[in-house]
Amino acid sequence: MTDPTGQAADSGTPTPTTDAAVVGPATVIEPPPRGGWLRNHAIDTRPMAIGPFRRQVLGQGTSFIGAMLTQVAVPVQVYAISKSSLYVGLVGLAGFVPIVLFGLYGGAVADAVDRRKLYFWSSVITWLVTLALLAQTVLQLDSVALILVLVVIQSAGFATASSARGAIIPRIVPLAEVPAANTLNFTVGNVGQVVGPLIAGVLVSLSRGFVYSYTADAVLFTAALYSALRLPAIEPDGLRQRPGFRSVIDGLAFIASRPVLVMSFAVDLIAMIFAMPRSLFPQLAADRFHGSVGLLYAAIPIGSVLAGLSSGWIGRVRRQGVTLTLAIVGWGLCVAFSGLARQLWLVLVLLALAGAADLVSAVFRQTILQTYAPDELRGRMQGVFTAVVAGGPRLGDVRAGAMAATTGISIAWVGGGVACAVLVLLAGVAVRPFWHYDAGKNLVPADAATET
């Protein structure tokens, strides 16, 4: 196995890394204690010394602010047109199918082409769709069908870009720092998801709020396009395989033969399908809290940001299967209790606690995936990850919206959270390789953790 040092030159361009010989778990070694309680628990910022990673994180963080403006504006606009949570749930369904298809196929393409180019051009597609959402609003078309079509196209671009972006990280960051890099990615992204909904909550209440939201997204997204352009060329490392149905099947077969990977996806699907309440936010805000929809959308990311800022301990956890399971159980219970609360502040606190649990879960799922597979499979692994992580919440939107329309918002919200906690705990304990997964075994060589 080639040493994945990923050291950055003065220009910020990392040395290409390989891990093509890995056929089983290639777990990162634990970072040494950094001295003192605060330093050991504060977020690990070592990957920020790597120029391409730093630009990618900052570019994504900026663009996430705009993306969240659109992510809030679209369901609120659909609810304003249709007055139905079911139609808001259909926004999730419209995004689900292209995310699955283009996540899987985009991951196969990412294993066969320059990942930087794929990341850039698929990001351009999502940017153009934002401009189209702006145009349909300016023209006052008031068409739910058109908005759903645009969501389909934007989801396809997003899925392809996400597959490429996730597969890029282990090539520009030392494997020993992958947990820290993922934590930084999620934390900075969640900062955008906090700021975005708060701004969106103000904007959508204005007479031309949807226009302002889509315009801001289009402008802020240029930061992500710039960071993609500044990446070094990242050609496939190892055996190339033509992107197509066969390569997708090979990637899925790799996952199916490894219970740890199967469970990392399964528990996330359970969490998102049963306990994601976001499609209920517009109705809850309108019925109970006088339109405070921005605060509801921001609560979960706020919790994730706070968890990320105190995440130094995450890289030292060895029993990642147990910790991942317990984090998702915590997510489900916090969501369930938030559905029972009648005070806005209590709902927000419980959703923030759910967001903290979700951050822990996300970091472990991404880290297991990125360090378990050889580089020539990482694009396809990230494609499946994208399909699950981005597709799961959309199925959750449909589930919650449909249940709210038939059983009421409380049952849809609380019942889903309880079901999530119970199912994940049962599944986690039942699959022994996952429950006993130890990240301290099969360590990469010590010199692979060279500081940058």
| pTM greater than 0.85 | no
Structural domain span for residue 79: 45-235+243-441
Q: What is the pLDDT along the chain (452 residues), one digit of tens a residue?
A: 333 223 333 333 333 333 333 333 333 444 444 555 555 567 788 888 888 888 888 888 888 888 888 988 998 899 889 888 788 878 877 887 888 888 777 777 777 788 888 889 999 999 999 999 999 999 989 899 999 999 999 988 988 888 788 778 878 888 778 778 888 888 887 787 778 877 887 888 888 889 999 999 999 998 888 888 888 888 876 555 666 667 777 777 888 888 888 888 899 899 999 999 988 888 888 888 877 777 888 889 889 888 888 766 666 777 778 888 999 999 999 999 999 998 999 999 999 999 999 988 888 887 777 777 666 777 777 777 777 777 788 788 889 988 988 888 889 999 999 999 999 999 988 888 888 877 666 433 333 333 33
Residue 52 lies in a domain: yes
- At residue 25, the pLDDT reads 37
Distance CA 150, CA 348 (A): 31
Residue 326 lies in a domain: yes
The pair of structure tokens assigned to 392 is 């799961």
The pair of structure tokens assigned to 137 is 């609003």
**Through-space distance between the first and last CA atoms of the chain, rounded to whole angstroms:** 19
- At residue 412, the pLDDT reads 92
* β-sheet bridge partners, residue 443: 27
Residue 18 lies in a domain: no
Residue 449 lies in a domain: no
**C-alpha distance from residue 273 to each of 116, 262, 279, 390, 441 (Å):** 32, 16, 12, 11, 32
- At residue 172, the pLDDT reads 83
Residue 38 lies in a domain: no
Distance CA 319, CA 436 (A): 7
Contact 420, 328 (CB under 8 A): yes
Contact 110, 118 (CB under 8 A): yes
* Cα dihedral sign, 258-261-267-269: negative
DSSP letters, 327-363, are HHHHHHHHHHHHHH--SHHHHHHHHHHHHHHHHHHHH
Q: How many domains does the chain have?
A: 1
What's the CATH code of the domain at 382? 1.20.1250.20
Residue 71 lies in a domain: yes
User: Residue 49's closest CA among 5, 3, 4, 12?
Assistant: 12
Residue 451 lies in a domain: no
- At residue 165, the pLDDT reads 81
- Which 3 state secondary structure label does DSSP give 443? strand
Residue 407's identity, in one-letter code, is: T
pLDDT tens column, 219-261: 999 888 888 888 888 887 655 566 666 777 777 788 888 888 8
Residue 6 lies in a domain: no
Contact 116, 234 (CB under 8 A): yes
Reading phi first (left if > 0) and then psi (alpha if -120 to 50, else beta), residue 8 is in beta
pLDDT tens column, 68-78: 889 889 988 99
